[in-house]
Amino acid sequence: MAQPRILILGAPGAGKGTQSARITEEFGVDHITTGDALRNNKEMDISDMDTEYDTPGEYMDQGELVPDEVVNAIVDEALSQANGFVLDGYPRNLEQAEELEDMTDLDVVLYLDVDEEELVHRLTGRRMDPETGDIYHLEYNPPTDPEVEDRLVQRDDDTEETVRERLSVFQENTEPVIEHYEAQGDLERIDGERAPDDVWEDVKSTIESAA
């Protein structure tokens, strides 16, 4: 079997990172995220584009959003170097979905479907140990050490107000992407509300059937 080319979609908190790690291990493909691709190509020469800076790193150093056309070029570069992949965090909008069609042929598009209230519950329950940076969850993955439990903090990203705003932005931008793949008959909906092992069984069999 050729190495599969997989796109994984899902809101923040849907479990994309967990499932992508298992896909990488099981199928021997690269896990490509836009964040990693940007960090790995900070020095890429984009001077031929009509952009403010000559490298993606300059946008990042200034704390500015990297323009879509630059992100597209970086993702294209990362995909061209990969022998099979699971792409996570791209496309974020319909224009990027159309760009992606020019870059590669996908074998399967997975969508981890999780209800908004469950996503809010998952994300607002996250806590960080400021001494180690380790992430816990008050319900699903609490620390066993009472000392660690006492020093846990909630990150600003994980407050309910911020979480609902992130989910709203995701829905506004990415819902058209989901509808796009659904209209093409390419979208495989996975019930992401179950335990990670149960979700994985579904993800694995869906990839094996499609690839």
Q: What is the pLDDT of residues 154-199, one digit of tens each?
A: 999 899 999 999 999 999 999 999 999 999 999 999 999 999 999 9
185 is in an annotated binding site: no
In this predicted structure, what is the pLDDT of residue 39?
83
90 is in an annotated binding site: yes
151 is in an annotated binding site: no
Mean pLDDT of the chain: 92
In this predicted structure, what is the pLDDT of residue 1?
53
What residue spans define the domains of the chain? 5-209
In this predicted structure, what is the pLDDT of residue 44?
80
Token pair of 188 as six digits: 């495989």
CATH topology of domain 5-209: Rossmann fold (3.40.50)
DSSP helix/strand/coil, 129? coil
Parts of the chain with a pLDDT under 70? 1
**Catalytic site positions:** 16, 92, 126, 155, 166
Residue-wise pLDDT for 31-40, tens only, equals 999 888 888 8
What is the distance between the alpha carbons of residues 40 and 51, in angstroms, rounded to a whole number? Answer: 19
